[in-house]
Amino acid sequence: MNTIGKVPATTQDVEAAIENAVDKLAIMINEGFKTTATKDDLTALEERVNTRFDGVESRLDRIEHLLLAKQEQRLNELETRMKKLEDALAV
């Protein structure tokens, strides 16, 4: 007597169970391919991501320029104050 685990089975039962399992696996694989992104999907996603990164990069560039301008302004003010101090001490 053939068994699968503790369940009695014939060769036909085993073959049918294997065929059924293979069919179910094929159906699951097919469903997986149906939900897989296409090249066009990935290209569109890449374009959206690049657009978002371009926007972020643009904002960071503006912030950098504002910070550099503020730093330059502060240095100019410091130079002016230092010049006044030098002039006051030179008297």
pLDDT tens figures, 42-74: 999 999 999 999 999 999 999 999 999 999 999
55 shares a domain with 20: no
Residue 5 has pLDDT above 80, yes or no: no
85 shares a domain with 47: yes
44 shares a domain with 29: no
The residue with greater pLDDT, 7 or 25, is 25
Q: Within 13 Å, how many C-alpha atoms sit on residue 77's CB side? A: 6
Euclidean distance between CA atoms 49 and 43, whole angstroms: 10
Report the pLDDT averaged over residues 7-34: 85
The residue with greater pLDDT, 69 or 10, is 69
45 shares a domain with 31: no
Amino acid letter, 69: A
Residue-number span of the structural domain to which 23 is assigned: 1-36
Specify the pLDDT at position 49: 95
- Among residues of the chain, what percentage have pLDDT more than 70? 90
22 shares a domain with 1: yes
Euclidean distance between CA atoms 28 and 24, whole angstroms: 6
